[in-house]
Structure 1
Amino acid sequence: MTPTVAVRIPGWRVWGPFALIAAGTAVTALGIDVFYAPNRISDGGVAGVGIILLYLLHLPVWVTLTALNLPLLWLSHRLWGGRVGVRTVFGTLMLSLWVGVFASLHLPAVTHNTLLAAIYGGILSGTGLGLVFRSRGTTGGTDVLARFLSHVLPISMGQGLLAVDFVIISAYGLVFDPQAALYSLIALFLSTRAVDLVQEGIAYARAFTIISDRPDEIARAILSEMGRGLTRWAGEGAYTGQHKTILFVLVSRPEVTRLKELVYRVDPRAFVVVGTVHEVIGEGFRSPPAEE
């Protein structure tokens, strides 16, 4: 197996996360300005309130973002104490800045098809937020309200976020029309999925669980022929009570077929379970966050 080589950029651990937050907020702002705002849709949050006020009061979205987010950050500090994270403040201000910059450039709407705007706006917004969250930052917003609701009501943080977004998207139906709310739900779903995809990564690895009567031979073959490490577990059949050695190994997608052939060459009766893995951190795969 060819060892992975980590390329380290001087000072990346200090300024790198801020660069990613700046890039992520720019992507999110682009989704707001060229997809959401021109088509009167959103995926909830403070930006959704901003778009409503844009059409009701002609108030720029970046003004609403700043006017609502900064008090929310102050409220968070007052209610729960502690220092508001530098990356949170940076992300909050950068999102407002980028939304204002793109709005001042009068970028044309990419499409006036509301469904396409919901799809691509959701993907862009979620991708940008995923980059921000992956850099351990946030953009302020309704998560503070969600936390407050979870504090005063018997609901979880996730339920609080859902409640806040539901109220904002319902307001779309009242201010604009019911279709705007329905399209916003599509945008919310896609944005959430995009956030998960960026944070967890694309499913690029496979996890093999191998149960065989010839575990030692299979383990030696994997080590010598594929150069992959593996783990041995002691197991017992619930019906037979027979003791078994279970092998666990992670491989990249191109190695899946090769590993199957190797296992069944050694033991044609082996029981193999293949699972999808979104992210693997460690030797032979991705470097730990502390080393990036």
Structure 2
Amino acid sequence: MTKVQRILWDYGMMTVGTAITAIGINGFYVPAKISDGGISGVGIILLYLLHVPLWVSLTVLNVPLLWLSKKLWGNRVGTRTVYGTLMLSVMVGIIRIGAVTHNVLLATVYGGLLSGVGLGMVFRARGTTGGSDVIARLLTRFLPITMGQGMMVVDFFVIAAFGVVFNPTLAMYSLIALFISSRAIDVVQEGVSYARAFTIVSQKPDIIAAKVLEVMDRGVTRIGAYGEYTKEPREILYVVITRSEVSTLKELIYSVDPTAFVVVATVHEVVGEGFRKPPLEV
């Protein structure tokens, strides 16, 4: 994938992502009076209190945030933020669908999923939709907190406002929507946990490595280490496999060395030989 193709792919992904998010907002969040926080949540409150169209609120409230984004993070990030923010406003304005369901719980679940998937696509394309994303970045600039913590602070205050304006029950549903949306964002950005990473400490690394290569046709990385307790040099084996191969690798390891020390970790995304092919340019 060339640089131009990658740019077109990213902007296309942001366009589709904002459309999916708009469906989640208009089809589920707005009719149920819930939100997963952010500027869209403020816009829903203004829609019911002052009858301001949601797309207007999204545009007007984001103007100073867009200016800050451009000022603080430069043209590349700023341009993608401007595009993502304006596209979300446009999609919310043109995708006018009524309530898909009148069940608040279903609206919470499906609204959270659609919003999370859509925003995850935007984030994966290295863009944002303005709003709480920009505010969270500002908070991380001036306070010792992470991006995720910053977004939680912003979303908490917006959802608390739902409890005051509407009722506490809708605020609690909004918290559920926030959780679902956050998990969906993580899955889209990081991938489903389809792989496992094995860290193997054994007295017989040569035999285990040979069997992994021969029997499982998987690569093995050797890492030099030092055992503090034994005061002896060791070799650690690092192997990444699919989830379905976990039992096979465990059986292989312990058939060679029953005393092997093994750590299994969840891997969300693997790029390289035997897994997903990397893009030529990023």
Settle same-fold status: TM greater than 0.5: yes
C-alpha distance in structure 1 between counterparts of 2:64 and 2:3, whole Å: 36
Change (3 A) 1:10 1:89: closer
C-alpha distance in structure 2 between counterparts of 1:150 and 1:271, whole Å: 39
Point out the more displaced range, 33-42 or 144-153.
144-153
Q: CA deviation at 1:163?
A: 2.6
Contact map agreement 2:23 2:114 (CA 8 A) in 1: yes
Q: Is there any run of 5+ residues in structure 1 with no aligned partner, and where?
A: 1-7
Change (3 A) 1:208 1:153: closer
Q: Secondary structure at the match of 2:177?
A: helix
Q: Secondary structure at the match of 1:234?
A: strand
C-alpha distance in structure 1 between counterparts of 2:84 and 2:241, whole Å: 36
Equivalent in the alignment of 2:27: 34
Change (3 A) 1:262 1:156: closer
C-alpha distance in structure 2 between counterparts of 1:235 and 1:273, whole Å: 15
Q: CA deviation at 1:71?
A: 2.9
Q: CA deviation at 1:49?
A: 0.9
Write the letter of the residue equivalent to 1:26. A
Q: Secondary structure at the match of 1:268?
A: coil
Equivalent position to 1:246, from 236, 247, 250: 236
Q: CA deviation at 1:189?
A: 1.4
Point out the more displaced range, 251-260 or 198-207.
251-260
Equivalent in the alignment of 2:103: 113
Change (3 A) 1:32 1:252: same
Q: CA deviation at 1:265?
A: 3.0
Equivalent in the alignment of 1:232: 222
Equivalent in the alignment of 2:64: 71
Give the length in aligned residue pairs: 281
Indicate yes or no: 2:130 matched with 1:140. Answer: yes
Q: Secondary structure at the match of 1:15?
A: helix
Change (3 A) 1:161 1:260: closer
- CA RMSD of the aligned region, Å? 2.3
Equivalent position to 1:193, from 183, 196, 208: 183
Equivalent in the alignment of 2:90: 97
Q: Is there any run of 5+ residues in structure 2 with no aligned partner, and where?
A: none
Q: CA deviation at 1:131?
A: 0.6
Equivalent in the alignment of 1:82: 74
Q: CA deviation at 1:184?
A: 1.0
Contact map agreement 2:163 2:171 (CA 8 A) in 1: yes
Equivalent in the alignment of 1:183: 173
Equivalent position to 1:278, from 237, 256, 268: 268
Equivalent in the alignment of 1:44: 37
Q: CA deviation at 1:143?
A: 2.7
Write the letter of the residue equivalent to 1:24. G
Q: CA deviation at 1:273?
A: 2.2
Change (3 A) 1:200 1:168: same
C-alpha distance in structure 2 between counterparts of 1:272 and 1:152, whole Å: 41
- TM-score of the superposition, structure 1-length normalised? 0.87
C-alpha distance in structure 2 between counterparts of 1:202 and 1:55, whole Å: 37
